[in-house]
Structure 1
Amino acid sequence: MNKVKCAPAEAEAAVSLPFSATAMDSRRAHAKSLFAVTLGNGLEIYDFAVYSFFSVIIGHLFFPTDSDSASLLLAVATFGVGFFMRPLGSLVLGHYADKHGRKAALTLIMALMALGVALVAFAPTYEQVGMLAPALLVCGRLLQGFSAGGEVGAATSWLMEAGGKSQRGVRVSWQMASQGGAALLGAAMGALLTHSLSHDALYSWGWRIPFIVGLAIMPVGIYIRRHLNETHTPSAVHAEGTPAARLWREHRRTMLLGILLVMKSTTTFYIIVYYMPAYMVHTLHMPEGTSYWISLMAATLTLVVPFFAGKLADRLPRRKPLLLGCGIGSLLLVWPIFASLHHGAPFALTIALISLDQILANITAVAFFLLILEAFPRPVRASGMALIYAIGVTLFGGFAQFNVTWLLNVTGDAMAPAWYLLLSAVVSLSALLAWREQPVLSDD
């Protein structure tokens, strides 16, 4: 009797357990894929954070001059050269992703990125090899910029194409969340090493540790990327010409408007997250410790908000109204943010205003990626996304801090950053109003 009673339970267990294990394995594999695909973009932001943190040390070691300011300027300029390689990388690697598939491109991009980071991490100093030292550092930054140029197009295209339409926003949101997590990790790594190592240790080897940590993660990313499911199998690319030629022939207007759409979001990111501490200390003479709370808060929101933004975008039938509402809200916040800083309003009020602006900025970023990706057919999607993002970030993000600093020096007006962001907002909103939103296709 006992055997008869136990048989149904055993049979049920035999059926349910394998099913449960299979579902769990599928979820783990999906999580691994999302991690590997967004890892490249995260490592780019991580590298930005740690390079900025140790730029003074890098300036002394690779660009020794009689002036500390000149050494720092050369170190910052070396980081900036990576931006000039982004458009070229987007053109070459975006074409590769459309011609050979997303998986092949993502694997190649990660390998190139690893080589660039290795050149920075292990480059000998000026004292050891003379002018070869800055040359190797520049080569590393050029290679990093080249690989970063193709990363966003290939990665966001894979994220969009890896599942059904109902969860596109959630998948694409991983790309933005990776930036917030990477910025937090980079800042934490810099702060930890600065406070735990001596001055001599930092200059001798300590500054290399964050780059080596980032490099150590990359083989894992390369391995997982090599085993991704392919979401795009090229077919008629050769018959229709190269993706770049087709973009110029059929999507010129979309490309131009897309680049202008990038302006507000990228200037906000580089000014609020990275430039704000320097602005508060050097222009407004606020305590240095206070200023870094803004960058910390902005990075935390960029880690958390995109997932909710993705869910919101998935519930709405169109992207443009969401972008329009957030864009107008952000425009209205620009002046109050800088006025509160300039006139010494309670810091809690400033933090609240910037937090609200960053929430809107993250919602905008997710909706923007979806709008651009859905504007292009599969054969040119990675190229279109890569070129729009790389050119926009290079023109408007890469030069944002320089332009604002120049405006402050020329005008002497502490509100110059606000005027710059207002101009960026007006340009991007104008481009959005001119944008012709495409219908969202479930099978593309």
Structure 2
Amino acid sequence: MSATTLARNESMREFPSSIEAASSAPSAGPSISRKAVAAAVAGNALEFYDFVIYAYFAVYIGKTFFPVAGEFGSLLVAVATFGVGFFTRPLGGVLIGAFADKVGRKPAMILTVTLITVGTLGLAATPSYASIGIAAPIIVVFCRLLQGLALGGEVGPATSLLIEAAPPGKRAFYSSWQIASQGLAVTVGGIFGVTLSLVLSPEQLAGWGWRIPFLFSLVLVPIAIYIRRSLPETHGGDTERSGASIVSAVFRKHGRILWLGVFATASTAVASQVGNYMVTYAVQVLKLPAALAQGSVLVGGATTFAFALVGGLLCDRYGRRVVNMLPRLALMLSIVPLFMWLSGAPGAATLLTVSALLAALTAVFGTAGLVQVPELLPIAVRSTGLSLVYAIGTSLFGGTTQFVVTWLLAVTHNPMAPAWYVVAMSAVSLVAMWMLPESRNVDVSR
């Protein structure tokens, strides 16, 4: 018997009762209405919008807060600061994920919206380096850390709630709205980017225009908090347990699933961040107009929204593993030829096509991964476990992607660098995904 087969069998033994459960096993908690699904994902969309619009305006933020010499100097520092926001995600996963397993999903989801609001307000209101000196980049870094803390604790409780309250046979579709809402956030950010690029001059956009999308999100915060208060609770928690004991249980009893989930997340995190990086790549490397570059974000976000839902439907019909692996393999084999085509003939057709294909494949396997891992974890530690998988994976791989890609481009002057990085991370994720057992028939009420 091969080592891979042994590893898979061991993973299945780790959850014997779950893997053998019938597909019609009941979900925990009350049935969730469409309105409640909308409430859950609306807050998630707002939080991801706040986080990702930084990437869209990294060129201008770099010039505002990080006046470093050289063509790539301020951009490198800006994208490094974008990455900083990923490194507090594990802490958010530990603290807020355990909080959700201890006292319930809904209080944790309200907390994350509040935290990211503070971070966004700081980014929108901080004066430039020219105005207040070194205090400006310090404040920006702190705000990114706070946003990362909030997002690290968002995915676990929100996804757990959707999975636990979904009707039998529809768990993947319900949880797919998590990824779909991120696509919606990207789409709205893309609309802002295109609109501002068209109506403002480059000087106005660099001077103050980039702040407008951040200010817009602050208007929506009271709505997000209000609708999240109406959510059903799917896990009453266990106030007798400490947060430390919950986290310890994840590492001690379910460490194998945790680390396989982290490495399975690698290609999702890298591919999604390469998609977000397309604006900077189009402007800095391909020398395309800013409005067209922002259009790639709009296309990528709309594609993510649609194909995340497709991925959820496919997972419910064919299982998690096949939908996890085949699109990853397709991306691994196609990304280099796509970037060769893009760099050889930069323009609207090539940029938008590559952005759409990258987003579509990433959304499908990203949805499968987001449902498979929490289904393999028991309800008592599900939020914490998923939060840790997502936070660690996106921190190690997604959080460094934009910096690594920018550095590779600066050092090698090879426009294929982003594609080869996606290939490498796809290979890592395929190995990890092969070792994870199927979870479609798991009873998530246990």
The alignment's TM-score, normalised by the length of structure 2, stands at 0.83
Larger relative contact order, structure 1 or 2 (CA cutoff 8 Å, min sep 6): 2
Residue of 155, 158, 178 corresponding to 2:161: 158
Pairwise mapping of residues 83-232 of structure 1 onto structure 2 (< 5 A)? 83-197=86-200, 202=205, 205-232=208-235
The residue aligned with 2:403 is: 402
How many angstroms apart in 1 are the aligned matches of 2:69 and 2:357? 44
Residue of 9, 33, 40 corresponding to 1:37: 40
How far has the Cα of 1:286 moved from its partner?
5.8
Q: Residues 231 and 401 of structure 1: is their aligned pair in 2 closer, same or farther, counting only changes over 3 Å?
A: same
**Residue 435 (structure 1) aligned with residue 439 (structure 2):** no
Pairwise mapping of residues 10-409 of structure 1 onto structure 2 (< 5 A)? 30-64=33-67, 70-197=73-200, 202=205, 205-235=208-238, 238=241, 242-271=245-274, 273-283=275-285, 292-316=294-318, 318-344=319-345, 355-409=356-410
Q: Residues 423 and 60 of structure 1: is their aligned pair in 2 closer, same or farther, counting only changes over 3 Å?
A: closer
Q: Is the 8 A contact 1:95 1:242 kept in 2?
A: no
Q: Secondary structure at the match of 1:146?
A: helix
Q: Residues 43 and 442 of structure 1: is their aligned pair in 2 closer, same or farther, counting only changes over 3 Å?
A: closer
1:308-342 deviations in whole A, cap 9, x for unaligned? 222222223x3112222222222222232123234
How many angstroms apart in 2 are the aligned matches of 1:127 and 1:85? 28
Q: Secondary structure at the match of 2:376?
A: coil
Q: Residues 247 and 442 of structure 1: is their aligned pair in 2 closer, same or farther, counting only changes over 3 Å?
A: closer
Q: Residues 124 and 228 of structure 1: is their aligned pair in 2 closer, same or farther, counting only changes over 3 Å?
A: same
How many angstroms apart in 2 are the aligned matches of 1:63 and 1:337? 33
How far has the Cα of 1:65 moved from its partner?
6.0
How many angstroms apart in 2 are the aligned matches of 1:283 and 1:196? 24
1:2-49 deviations in whole A, cap 9, x for unaligned? xxxxxxxxxxxxxxxxxxxxxxxx99x934422332234322432344
1:344-386 deviations in whole A, cap 9, x for unaligned? 4997577656644533322211111110110100111011111
The code of the aligned residue for 1:304 comes to: A
Q: Secondary structure at the match of 1:398?
A: helix
Q: Residues 384 and 192 of structure 1: is their aligned pair in 2 closer, same or farther, counting only changes over 3 Å?
A: same
The residue aligned with 1:421 is: 422
Q: Is the 8 A contact 1:333 1:353 kept in 2?
A: no
1:167-186 deviations in whole A, cap 9, x for unaligned? 21221111111111111111
How many angstroms apart in 2 are the aligned matches of 1:144 and 1:236? 27
How many angstroms apart in 2 are the aligned matches of 1:235 and 1:188? 43
The code of the aligned residue for 1:306 comes to: A
Q: Is the 8 A contact 2:279 2:293 kept in 1?
A: yes
1:73-122 deviations in whole A, cap 9, x for unaligned? 44333332211111111111111111110011011111111111122222
The code of the aligned residue for 1:168 comes to: R
How far has the Cα of 1:298 moved from its partner?
1.9
The alignment of Structure 1 onto Structure 2 pairs a total of residues equal to 416
How far has the Cα of 1:130 moved from its partner?
4.0
The code of the aligned residue for 1:165 comes to: P
Q: Percent identity?
A: 39
1:249-287 deviations in whole A, cap 9, x for unaligned? 10111111100001111111111x122344455445566
Q: Is the 8 A contact 2:336 2:419 kept in 1?
A: yes
Q: Is the 8 A contact 2:190 2:301 kept in 1?
A: no
Q: Secondary structure at the match of 1:251?
A: helix
Q: Residues 350 and 282 of structure 1: is their aligned pair in 2 closer, same or farther, counting only changes over 3 Å?
A: closer
Q: Is the 8 A contact 1:337 1:350 kept in 2?
A: no
Q: Residues 347 and 250 of structure 1: is their aligned pair in 2 closer, same or farther, counting only changes over 3 Å?
A: same
How many angstroms apart in 2 are the aligned matches of 1:197 and 1:350? 23
How far has the Cα of 1:408 moved from its partner?
3.8
Q: Residues 360 and 72 of structure 1: is their aligned pair in 2 closer, same or farther, counting only changes over 3 Å?
A: closer
**Which structure is larger by alpha-carbon Rg, 1 or 2?**
1
How many angstroms apart in 2 are the aligned matches of 1:257 and 1:363? 19
The code of the aligned residue for 2:122 comes to: L
How many angstroms apart in 2 are the aligned matches of 1:140 and 1:34? 29
1:44-76 deviations in whole A, cap 9, x for unaligned? 432344323433443444345676854444433
Q: Is the 8 A contact 1:32 1:224 kept in 2?
A: no
How many angstroms apart in 2 are the aligned matches of 1:66 and 1:281? 18
Unaligned runs of 5+ residues in structure 1 are 1-25
The residue aligned with 1:22 is: none
How far has the Cα of 1:434 moved from its partner?
1.6
How many angstroms apart in 2 are the aligned matches of 1:382 and 1:37? 15
Q: Residues 290 and 191 of structure 1: is their aligned pair in 2 closer, same or farther, counting only changes over 3 Å?
A: closer
Q: Residues 53 and 360 of structure 1: is their aligned pair in 2 closer, same or farther, counting only changes over 3 Å?
A: closer
How many angstroms apart in 1 are the aligned matches of 2:67 and 2:133? 10
For the aligned residue pairs, the C-alpha RMSD in angstroms reads 3.1
How many angstroms apart in 2 are the aligned matches of 1:75 and 1:412? 19
Unaligned runs of 5+ residues in structure 2 are 1-29
How many angstroms apart in 2 are the aligned matches of 1:92 and 1:326? 33
The code of the aligned residue for 1:275 comes to: Y
